[in-house]
């Protein structure tokens, strides 16, 4: 089973959650990813890049590995960093119970763009950011 850490519109209560995950999840748990920074982009979605913060989100356990392709499609991920906005890598994510899980995470490739054009979210929670904006 594949696990994916989501920190933006794929989180519960956001527009892409049901669109992508409906009937495709085994489990959802709160999680946090250390050593990354979170930004809000003018296109209306977040991006994370290496940094010194903690990013908060959810760990989604997919019911089948094939469902990862649906998420790749949404994120525009082809595996070719010369054309993709994101790379997908496995990173350690801390769950609420203290356990660490290796999860797929989509990381924004163009760090310079994110840092110069994005809105920095120091508390690391895009859901909280969106509720206040």
Which neighbouring-strand residues pair with 61? Answer: 3, 27
- The token pair at 130 is 């969106």
Task: State the Cα–Cα distance between residues 131 and 11, nearest whole angstrom.
Answer: 13
Is 2 considered catalytic here? no
Report how far residue 17's alpha carbon sits from residue 120's, in angstroms, rounded to the nearest whole number.
Answer: 23
Q: What is the DSSP string of 48-114?
A: EEEEEEEEEEEEEEESSGGGHHHHHHHHT--S-TTT-SEEEEEEEEEETTS-EEEEEEEEES-HHHH
Q: Which two tokens stand for residue 78?
A: 């082809």
Q: Which of 29, 58, 75, 101 is catalytic?
A: 75
Catalytic residues: 75
């Amino acid at each position: 089973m594949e696990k994916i850490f989501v920190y933006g519109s794929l989180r519960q209560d956001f527009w892409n959650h049901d669109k992508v995950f409906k009937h495709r999840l085994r489990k959802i748990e709160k999680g946090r990813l250390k050593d990354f920074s979170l930004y809000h982009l003018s296109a209306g979605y977040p991006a994370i890049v290496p940094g010194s913060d903690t990013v908060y989100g959810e760990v989604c356990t997919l019911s089948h590995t094939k469902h990862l392709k649906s998420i790749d499609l949404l994120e525009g991920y082809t595996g070719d960093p010369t054309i993709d906005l994101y790379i997908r890598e496995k990173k350690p994510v801390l769950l609420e119970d203290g356990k660490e899980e290796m999860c797929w995470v989509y990381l924004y490739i163009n760090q310079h763009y994110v840092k110069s054009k994005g809105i920095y979210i120091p508390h690391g929670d895009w859901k909280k950011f969106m509720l206040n904006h």
